[in-house]
Amino acid sequence: MNEQVLSYLKSLKPKPHEDGRKLLQEGIKIGNSLEIGESRYFRESKYKTYLQYRKELKKQHKVAWVIVLGLPSLEEELEGIMKLYEHGQKEGIGCDQILPIPSWLTGLPKDLHEKGLPGNSYVLSDYDDYVLHTEAAPIPICFGDYHLSSPRALESTIFALKSGSPIIGELSQFKWDYTGFNNEYERMCDIVRALGVMASKYDNEVLVNTYLDDGFAGYFTDIVSYISYAVLEHYICTKLCGARYYVSYAGLLSDVDTRCASAMAIEKLLGTEDQPALHYLNNSTNLQWDHDIHGNYGISVPEMLFAILVEQKYGIGMGINVVAITEKISVPTLQELKDILAAGRRTEEQACQWLPYINFSKLEQMRDVMAEQGMRMFQSAMDGLKAADIDTEDPLEMMLVLKAFNPIKFEQAFHPSTYGNDGEIVPFYPTAMSKQTQELKNETITSIKEEFANSLAGKKIVLGSGDCHTYGLFFVDGVLSAMGAQIINGGVDLSPVDALDLADEENTKYIGISCHNGQAMEFGRQMIEIANKRNREYTIFIGGKLNAILPGQNEPTDISSDLERIGIMADNDIKNIIMRIASMS
């Protein structure tokens, strides 16, 4: 490891802090005083734990079908859970688990709600709200987003357990920031306590879920880096904290071979007789069209078919989280989720006919390389942290270091192709998202360079992402830079006030924001409100998923014209953005 990397690692060592092992014991003590609720699912099924059911599916080489459901109101969400269950019973194509997706505000203490950014979904507030979910139908309800790694980590984990939820997450989301919340140290302490609560229920087979793409892995260029990071989180969750760890990912991966080979590698490294490692693969969205929507079935169905065949061949315990064909443009409706689930289940009915004709030898080779190199990268990371005097036995110190760690620097520092040198990363298996974004950036620059070369010279532009997603930011940064702009990249999880502050510090009026989670309208509104209070004029443009649930409506709608009306450029056409900025003085 070179001196520059070592110096950076040493800079991450936190100031003196509480002993994470004591915090863990506090959480275990809290957990020991709690009783896990008996949800409707457990009262009406033959299974004592959900993991027991998943192990049975694994033995039968069958996938588990998962649905993510985030409807506008609590009442609609509960009705949606019930309708999904009833539809499955009627048609014989039900799902095995539902993951509610509430608003971001769910992760904030109640007294901070007015400072946060509402999304397109409802707020899970009190314990009774959790019970309403787990009693809505005899189906496992697993609370993931904005729970175990949120500012409300301890409270929401307790509520979820007491309501009978068998899986709680998302551990990876500790990297996220929450608008309106600033005490990250106390948040990391509560995450460790929450892991202690989960550890106390190890024998009850409750699981800590992670969704890799929502954390470090969302920045990585190589699938091997995904594997190494999963091993690192497993080390913290299971080895240090004694809780069960369950891996979900793949929303940013669209190559069917790397999706499934990485699942096989994770099971090889982390799976045990007692517990499979893999919760689910998320259907990818990065190849979806935003036009001729039904064509997206041509992407989703083959993707599901390949995963089903791998499960039938190897029995690795895989789940599939089905993603509606409209995911790229809006939050899916209940009917759209039913449709994609039906497509997956019907595919499963016929998949066995394909199995005799498939040669999986290349997949096995990929699995072995991913497992070997992923473990090598994990060990390099551990060696580097120890060399920097990081206490790798203290879960709090590890969480604090990773919170401060730049994910791009993490991959650069420890990847097998760059560990100990300053070279560029040479991926073993490039992530589809990074590859596609790079290709799109290069294609766009080539296609517009002659018309717009240096058209943005002299323009200083602040860019940032309003959530954890980075690839849109990478694309816009690259294209605008190539057209001559000086880019100040504020990174991800940027709040409206942070974006404006950064523009003031850099003495520029140009600000570009990438939004994804239904937050564009509120993000833009807050920026304009703050700008008016400062009596300053800014040129703001927002791109990404430009939809929101407007007052009096039940489904997300395009809000581009609404943003334009309040003075914000709302356009996903980078050429239009360049023309509009270039024309300004």
pLDDT digits (tens, 9 = 90+) for 362-379: 999 999 999 999 999 999
161 inside domain: yes
Does 52 share its domain with 135?
Answer: yes
Does 353 share its domain with 441?
Answer: no
Does 251 share its domain with 348?
Answer: yes
369 inside domain: no
Structural domain boundaries, residue 574 = 432-582
427 inside domain: no
403 inside domain: no
281 inside domain: yes
Of 247, 267, 211, the C-alpha closest to 469 is 211
How confident is the model over 60-77, as pLDDT tens digits? Answer: 999 999 999 999 899 999
Does 352 share its domain with 447?
Answer: no
Last residue of a domain, one of 316, 339, 363: 363
How many C-beta atoms lie closer than 10 Å to residue 531's C-beta? 19
Last residue of a domain, one of 363, 387, 412: 363
Q: In this structure, what token pair is assigned to residue 162?
A: 């007491």
Between the CA of residue 271 and those of 57, 257, 265, 278, 453, what are the distances in Å?
Answer: 15, 20, 9, 8, 52
d(CA 372, CA 376): 6
CATH label of the domain that carries residue 442:
3.40.50.280
Does 357 share its domain with 452?
Answer: no
d(CA 226, CA 259): 11
Last residue of a domain, one of 363, 386, 404: 363
Reported pTM: 0.82
How many domains are there within the chain?
A: 2
185 inside domain: yes
Lowest mean pLDDT among 3-17, 59-73, 344-358, 480-494: 480-494
Does 182 share its domain with 298?
Answer: yes
Does 157 share its domain with 250?
Answer: yes
For residues 506-514, average pLDDT: 93
Instruction: Describe the strand order of the beta sheet including 569-570 as a list of residue ranges.
Output: 486-489, 460-465, 510-515, 539-544, 569-570
150 inside domain: yes
Does 354 share its domain with 441?
Answer: no
Does 113 share its domain with 259?
Answer: yes
Does 131 share its domain with 268?
Answer: yes
CATH label of the domain that carries residue 61:
3.20.20.240
- pLDDT in the model for residue 552: 58
Of 50, 165, 150, 134, the C-alpha closest to 96 is 50
pLDDT at residue 394 is higher than 90: yes
424 inside domain: no
d(CA 33, CA 25): 13
| Residue 213 binned pLDDT confidence (cut-offs 50, 70, 90) | very high
Does 90 share its domain with 215?
Answer: yes
Does 340 share its domain with 442?
Answer: no
